Structure 1
Amino acid sequence: MRVLLVSDIHSNFQALEGILKDAGEFDLALNAGDIVGYGPDPRECIELVRRLNIISIAGNHDFAAATGDTSNFNPYAAEALSINRSLLNDNDVSWLRSLPHAFRQSVEGVRISVYHGSPCDPLNEYVFPAEAERRVTDFLEYAKSDLLVLGHTHIPYVLKTPKGFMVNPGSVGQPRDGDPRASYILLDVEEKVIEVEHRRVEYDVKEVAKRMEWLGLPRLLSLRLFSGW
């Protein structure tokens, strides 16, 4: 079975289209949260995710868009979320509110779990690569999983242990590992065997930044798209 893993789309429709075109056909798609926030096209991203039946969990930005609570956000993220929220209709907000905070499914005998932050704090905990290496075994045991998918940091990694895999597909819409290309993962899963491929895709950053500027989104957020930080 071919499985697409994405996370942190952040209202970047062009980046999302780019990775979908690059990925080609897949049997299952999982999104580790944060469809909205930061970028210029939250509605378009939600519509595409729903149309393609990409199974999604809530990220902290999705939760904030659903509730209107940005008290834990920095000023740039809060301003962007406010603008994103103004672009959504009631159906979009209701759908975001319905998103679960975790997803679990067995695929070809492989137990897969998806969280935005971590199994211990699904919405908000940041598990950066160094900490991921230290805690991978504990997390896999805690989540009772053979493959654990996390998001939130916007930094991709693939960790393999005797207990299984822990991966972060990175960010589709706002990478922060120094590479501005959209980031995602493809899995081939067959009879409890997992093959993991991390991919990067170029897209028209200038066009997205131009649209962000037109909407009045914080300039810092559009500048980050060019550097990948």
Structure 2
Amino acid sequence: MKILIISDIHSNIHALESIWANEGDSDQVYCVGDLVDYGPYPKEVLDWARAHDMRSVQGNHDAWVSKRYRGGQEQNNIATEDRTWAEHNISLLDDDDIAYLEQLPETLTFSADGFDYALTHIFDKYREIKSLDQFETFRRERFDGASFTRLLLGHTHRQAIRYLSDDLLWVNPGSGSYRRRDDPDQTAHYATITDGALSLHRVAYDHRVLFDVAQCLKLNENEQKHDWSWAARG
């Protein structure tokens, strides 16, 4: 069995389609959250997710956009300096799209090829799990002690596999959309699991269309630093 693991797509259908062009033979697709916000194509990403029967947990941006859609300007859950992308995404989504985001769970578990997996978007802000004690505490508190040996995380946009013991590990597939500012790589990051074997991947894609949209939105400096628009200038 081949499983595609993606995360932090952030309304970037071009990156998602580039990933799928490489991994279209996958049997299942899982996403570790943040399908929307900080990108121009939220509806296309959600349509893709539904068309490919993708299973996903809810990311913080998925929750923020949903709450602001429902609550309007009174829902001050997004900082003023970060609202341009959220408002842009909200203008393109409808009730069915928001209902899809709202029903995404905080956690998921599944088994494949003899391994037990668990997904959730965030561990602890931008920190990493560095010890077995942290792993066990997190498993007990977030997953009610569910049994699994492979944990899939997102949020940090930093691709990694970290072994805590011979058979216990966590994986971050990285962001399918954009890097942090201290990482000059401009590719889309993701992971695959093929017959139980974990692999990290990256694929190049054309940023120009995305950059043109970002320019039209007149993003402030704070919003630009979060997305692929700063990288596209290179």
Residue of structure 2 equivalent to 1:107: 112
Task: Give the CA deviation at 1:47.
Answer: 0.2
181, 188, 193: which one pairs with 2:187?
181
Q: Which position in structure 2 is the counterpart of 1:25?
A: 25
Count of residue correspondences: 216
1:127 and 1:72 mapped to 2: Cα distance?
19
Moved more, 158-167 or 65-74: 65-74
**Partner residue in 1 for 2:130:** 133
Question: Which structure 1 residue ranges, 5 or more long, are not aligned?
Answer: 119-124
Instruction: Provide the residue aligned with 2:205 in structure 1.
Output: 203
After superposition, the Cα gap between the structure-2 partners of 1:71 and 1:151, relative to the gap in structure 1 and judged at 3 Å, is farther
Per-residue CA distance 1:27-83 (angstroms, 9 max, x = gap): 111100000000000000000011001111110111111111774544443221121
Moved over 6 A (4+): none
Q: Deviation at 1:216? A: 4.5
SS at match of 1:132: coil
Please give the secondary structure, in 1, of the residue aligned with 2:3.
strand
**Residue 149, structure 1, aligned to residue 152, structure 2:** yes
In 1: Cα distance, 2:44 partner to 2:137 partner? 34
Unpaired segments ≥5 residues, structure 2: none
**Farther off after superposition, 73-82 or 15-24:** 73-82
Matched, 1:41 2:41: yes
| 1:44-55 equivalent positions in 2, closer than 5 A | 44-55=44-55
CA distance in 2, matches of 1:145, 1:175: 29
Q: Residue 86 of structure 1: CA displacement? A: 1.2
Task: Kindly report the root-mean-square deviation, in angstroms, between the aligned alpha carbons of the 2 structures.
Answer: 2.3
**Rg larger in 1 or in 2?**
2
Which residue of structure 2 lines up, in the alignment, with residue 122 of structure 1? none
Counterpart for residue 121 of structure 1: none
Residue 82 (str. 1) matches residue 84 (str. 2): no
Q: TM-score, normalised by structure 2?
A: 0.83
- Percent identical pairs in the alignment equals 30
